[in-house]
Amino acid sequence: MKTYPMFIGGRAVDAGATFAVVNPALGEPFARVQDAQVQHVDAAVAAARAAFPAWSATPDAERQALLHALGAALEAHTPELMELVTRETGKPLAGLDNVGAGMELGGAIAWTHVTADLALAPEVLQDDATARVEVHRKPLGVVASITPWNWPLMIAIWHVIPALRTGNTVVLKPSEYTPVATSRFVELANAILPPGVLNLVTGAGAIGAALAGHADVDKIVFTGSTRTGKRIMEGAAATLKRLTLELGGNDAGIVLPGADVAALAPRLFGAAFHNNGQTCACLKRLYVHDSQYDAMCAALARLAIDVRVGDGMDPQTQLGPVQNRAQRDIVQALADDARACGGQVLAGGRARPGPGYFFEPTIVAGLSNGARLVDEEQFGPILPVIRYADVDDAVRLANDNPNGLGGSVWGDPALAVAVGRRLECGTVWINEHGAVQPDAPFGGIKQSGIGVEFGRHGLAEFTSIQTVKIMKA
Ligand code: NDP
Ligand 1 atom nearest to 234, measured from its CA: 18
DSSP secondary structure code for residue 37 in this structure: -
Give the N- to C-terminal CA distance of the chain in Å, as an integer.
71
- The whole-number pLDDT of residue 383 equals 98
Whole-angstrom distance, CA of residue 33 vs CA of residue 207: 14
- Of all residues in the chain, the percent with pLDDT exceeding 70 is 100
Q: List, for residues 31-52, the tens digit of each pLDDT value.
A: 999 999 999 999 999 999 999 9
Ligand 1 atom nearest to 324, measured from its CA: 25
Q: Residue 239: phi, psi to the nearest 5?
A: -120, 20
Neighbours of 291 (CB within 10 A): 11
Neighbours of 182 (CB within 10 A): 29
Q: Which residues line ligand 1 (CB under 6 A)?
A: 146, 148-150, 173, 175-176, 203-205, 207-209, 212, 223-225, 228, 231-232, 235, 246-248, 280, 327, 330, 377, 379
Q: Which of 176, 246, 377, 461 is catalytic?
A: 246
3 state SS of 198: strand
Compute, in angstroms, the gap from residue 179 CA to the centroid of ligand 1.
13
Q: What is the average per-residue pLDDT within 139-163?
A: 98
Which of 225, 243, 442, 446 to probe ligand 1 with, by most ligand atoms within 8 A of CB? 225
How high does pLDDT run on average in the chain?
A: 97
Nearest-CA residue for atom 21 of ligand 1? 208
Whole-angstrom distance, CA of residue 155 vs CA of residue 147: 6
Whole-angstrom distance, CA of residue 365 vs CA of residue 383: 9
Neighbours of 61 (CB within 10 A): 8
Whole-angstrom distance, CA of residue 183 vs CA of residue 290: 49
CB crowding 206-218: b at 16 or more within 10 Å, else e: ebbbbbbbbeebb
pLDDT at 149 over 90: yes
- The whole-number pLDDT of residue 314 equals 97
* CA pseudo-torsion sign 23, 184, 63, 114: negative
Active site residue 297: no
- The whole-number pLDDT of residue 317 equals 97
User: In what helix (H) or strand (E) does residue 127 lie, and over which residues does it extend?
Assistant: strand 123-127
To the nearest 10 degrees (0 to 180), the angle between helices 180-190 and 78-89 is 150
Report if pTM > 0.95: yes
Q: List, for residues 153-208, the tens digit of each pLDDT value.
A: 999 999 999 999 999 999 999 999 999 999 999 999 999 999 999 999 999 889 99
pLDDT at 29 over 90: yes
Q: What is the average per-residue pLDDT within 87-111?
A: 97
- The whole-number pLDDT of residue 473 equals 81
Whole-angstrom distance, CA of residue 463 vs CA of residue 452: 13
Compute, in angstroms, the gap from residue 142 CA to the centroid of ligand 1.
21
pLDDT at 378 over 90: yes
Q: List, for residues 413-460, the tens digit of each pLDDT value.
A: 999 999 999 999 999 999 999 999 999 999 999 999 999 999 999 999
- The whole-number pLDDT of residue 205 equals 86
Compute, in angstroms, the gap from residue 159 CA to the centroid of ligand 1.
15
**What's the pLDDT band for 119 if we cut at 50, 70, 90?**
very high
Question: At 3, which amino acid appears?
Answer: T
Compute, in angstroms, the gap from residue 211 CA to the centroid of ligand 1.
13
